[in-house]
Chain A
């Protein structure tokens, strides 16, 4: 269970968000500039809120009043960035293994094999990220975040940099992830159709405020786009 209750000012923009999310996929939905990325960056520990608290299960990740602010490397939260951010100097295999090594977890060949087959990346393991397609890169970024055994997976517009065909390629993997892996996810997107397929609950964000939180009915038809 993720609990977020934070405030943050960034120049003229102010973000104030309060919501809770459980298992399944929480879709954070809203137009560009609504503060979605700032929100997930605060959950990941990359941006510190001005006020409020962030908890996950019984662990306090951030609490301004008690001056608690766990650094990103102490949070065990997987993060799939919009642009993948694979390490260019490491092979795909070492990219996948990076989080496990940094978290000090023992090698787990079975888990590796499971994620590799789930994401269909077995043929890419010896290659370097430089020559991969956008879709392949995003699948590896997802695998890399999963293999650190996170307690929560953040996905920030993971399909935004891909063309329509690539989006269609990745979405089934994300659905399998949701149905088979059991890690709670926070999925940020400004595409209603994308979230309609993947999310189990929705937080709607606009101009730095939570407009509504609830089920998929919040993705009303007016927001639908023809891309997916």
Chain B
């Protein structure tokens, strides 16, 4: 019944061997793959901006810094629906930015998975910036001075001293952003709706299954998958930052 509604359920590439393990339907696999793709893209695209923003907030003082800091953290405290709606009116086809991107660059975000990635990236951004900023603030700026006296210009100081020393915070920021992006629901569904195969992530699929009769089993399977992915990300982050931390304190 679901597959009739959601269309094209039987493409061969949607059926990896793992299907049997949890007995996931092709639709569920599509939602999982889509969620992972959206979360990975959102995190990777947000990363350079997050690092730059964290560095700016940690190391520079300028007019309007408090306001900028507030703006970065706004998605954390605003109702996600509000963030999604703001994205819709600015990045929608008729929105100011959306029209520009569509007409001049051919990029359409509304009701596309790329739009979901944008929404997830913005929602995850404050969670990414914060640990990186704290890590940069904790670095002894005198080490950066020492690097400068040894001939390193600002970019090399950042790449060879600041960034490696902030690595544990960077890992934490990446994982938090990824986890947020994976589970984001409100802003995404408001901005790009809930289109199977295009914008229906694990969260949206679970929500859909809870709204239809006999959807409990499918929702339950996706819940297990969501728990597994989140746990794996947390364990990987713990392991990576312990390794990174070890490098600084000893052999």
Asked if A89 contacts B151 (CB within 8 A), the reply is no
- Whether the Cβ atoms of B153 and A71 lie closer than 8 Å is yes
Query: Which of under 10, 10 to 19, 20 to 34, or 35 or more describes the interface residues of A?
Result: 20 to 34
Given known contacts A85-B143, A87-B161, A89-B164, A99 and B150 CB-to-CB distance under 8 angstroms: yes
**Do B248 and A73 have beta carbons less than 8 Å apart?**
no
Give Cα distance in the complex from A127 to B145, angstroms.
Answer: 23
Any A CB within 8 A of the CB of B147: yes
The smallest beta-carbon distance between B168 and chain A, in angstroms, is 11
**Chain A residues in 8 Å Cβ range of B152:** 73, 98, 102
Using an 8 Å CB-CB cutoff, how does the interface string of A75-88 with B read, 1 for contact, 0 for none? 11111010101011
Report Cα–Cα, A99/B147, bound state, in Å.
8
Q: Residue-by-residue, is B226-248 near A (CB-CB < 8 Å gives 1, otherwise 0)?
A: 00000000000000000000011
A137 within 8 A of B: no
Give the shortest distance, in Å, between B164 (CB) and chain A (any CB): 5
Query: A72 at interface (Cβ–Cβ under 8 A)?
Result: yes
Query: Does B147 lie within 8 Å of A98, measured CB to CB?
Result: yes
Q: State A79–B143 Cα separation when bound (angstroms).
A: 12
Contacts of B161 in A (CB 8 A): 87
Q: Does A192 sit at the interface, judged by CB under 8 A?
A: no
Q: CB distance A87 to B250 under 8 Å?
A: no
Given A88-B165, A89-B165, A102-B156, check contact A78 B250 (CB 8 Å).
no
Chain A contact residues, majority secondary structure: loop
User: Does residue A44 face the partner (Cβ distance < 8 Å to B)?
Assistant: yes
Taking CB atoms, residues of chain B closer than 8 Å to A78 are 149-150
Most buried by A among B142, B150, B156, B250: B150
Taking the complex as formed, is A131 at the interface, i.e. its CB lies under 8 A from any CB of chain B? Answer: yes
Please state if A73 and B151 are interface contacts (CB–CB under 8 Å). yes
Residues from chain B with Cβ under 8 Å of A145 in the complex: 149-150
Q: Quick check: A128 and B148 within 8 Å, CB to CB?
A: no
Q: State the interface size on chain B (CB cutoff 8 A).
A: 22
Q: How far is the CA of A131 from the CA of B246 in the complex (A)?
A: 12
- Answer whether residue A130 sits at the interface, using C-beta atoms and an 8 A cutoff: yes
Q: Roughly how many angstroms separate A73 CA and B158 CA in the complex, as a whole number?
A: 13
B interface, over-half SS: helix
Distance in angstroms from A124 CB to nearest chain B CB is 11
CB of B149 within 8 A of CB of A79, answer yes
Known: A89-B164, A128-B247, A130-B250. A103 touches B146 (CB 8 A): no
A8 at the interface (CB under 8 A from B): no
Partner of A87, one of B145, B147, B156: B147
Q: B127: shortest Cβ distance to chain A, in Å?
A: 25
Contact between chains at B250 and A44 (CB < 8 Å)? no
A190 at the interface (CB under 8 A from B): no
Tell whether, in the assembled complex, residue A85 and residue B156 are in contact, meaning their CB atoms are under 8 Å apart: no
Give A92-150 interface residues, CB cut-off 8 Å to B.
Answer: 98-99, 102-104, 127-128, 130-131, 144-145, 148
Find chain B residues with CB under 8 A from A130 CB.
Answer: 248-250
Chain A residues within 8 Å of B146, by CB: 79, 81, 85, 87
Q: Does the CB pair B251–A128 fall under 8 Å?
A: yes
Q: In the complex, A148→B149 CA distance in Å?
A: 10
With A46-B145, A128-B247, A128-B251 known to touch, is A102 a contact of B151 (CB < 8 Å)?
Answer: yes
Interface string of B132-154 (1 = CB under 8 A from A): 00000000101101111111110
Residue of A nearest to B165 (CB): A89
Given contacts A79-B146, A88-B248, A144-B150, 6 further A-B contacts (CB under 8 A): A45-B149, A73-B153, A88-B249, A98-B152, A102-B156, A103-B150
7 A-B residue pairs with CB within 8 Å? A46-B145, A77-B149, A79-B146, A103-B151, A128-B247, A130-B249, A131-B250
**Cβ-closest 10 pairs across A and B:** A99-B150, A102-B151, A103-B151, A85-B146, A72-B148, A79-B149, A102-B152, A88-B248, A89-B164, A130-B249
